[in-house]
Amino acid sequence: MNEITLFGFNNLTKSLHFSLYKLHYVGNQSLDYNRFIKERFSANKLNSVLTTICHAIGGNVLNIAKQDYQPQGASVTLMISEELPAQHVTETESIVAHLDKSHLCIHTYPEDAPQDGIAIFRADIELSTCGIISPLKVLNQVIEAFDADVIDIDYRVRGMTRDKQGNKIYNFDQFDNLNSFLSTDITQSYHISEHHFRKQNLFHAKLSRKNVMLNDYLVEKNTDDFNQALQRSICSKITKEIKQLFTNSE
């Protein structure tokens, strides 16, 4: 039986969680929006995104579970190892490797009852790793892949390991804030709020887009389909929604 060697294995579990909100102006085109979401965020396309993320952190996909839902929405879960590619591992061994090592999953929550012509799409992503893989490497990649307007990020390290001298270690990564892992393009494009509890190894950041460009929010339409007054009105509504999602307010 082929077994996966736990290279670099330790008892530190690093969990990175995203809630990403993307807004769309759909007006009264609910059917067009449903079709758009199904095409852009199908289980197959999400699987492609997650597989790219897995490889970006130096992981190999062991097993994949994916599902599309009606009327819309999808879920994908990847089991990850740091070493052997999937073809060398049986299904039973994949489950063991998943429990011992890492997983990456996504669930989408498209709004099925848009309010005032604006639909809110949310993607929930969790990346949990052990060993030498660091999920913080993909912060920028995840944000860019979903082009989200509001991003809620939680990072937590659990457990402990030891160095060669037997001293306890509760976190390998030494950093001041999650902001330090973000690209210049992202820090310039978003308002960022951070709250950390370093002693507990808890880190939180929330981002909201600074500038609203109407074309980025239209489904099967462009700005030429609206007069200037309506364009300003739609942008104002979108900006208000982004602010509410950022502040958790009405």
| Annotated catalytic residue 102 | yes
DSSP string, 135-196: GGGGHHHHHHHHT-SEEEEEEEEES-EE-TT--EES-S---S-GGGGS-HHHHHHEEEEEEE
For residue 39, which phi and psi values (nearest 5 degrees)?
-75, -45
The residue annotated as part of the active site, out of 42, 81, 130, 208, is 130
Single-letter amino acid, residue 80: I
Catalytic option among 42, 102, 128, 208: 102
Q: Assign residue 224 a region (left: φ > 0; alpha: ψ between -120 and 50; beta: otherwise).
A: alpha
Say whether 128 is catalytic.
Answer: no
Catalytic residue flag (residue 235)? no
Q: Which residues contact 150 (CB under 8 A, 6 or more apart)?
A: 20, 21, 206, 207, 208, 209, 242, 245, 246
Q: List the catalytic residue out of 17, 30, 75, 107.
A: 107
Task: List, by residue number, the catalytic residues.
Answer: 102, 107, 130
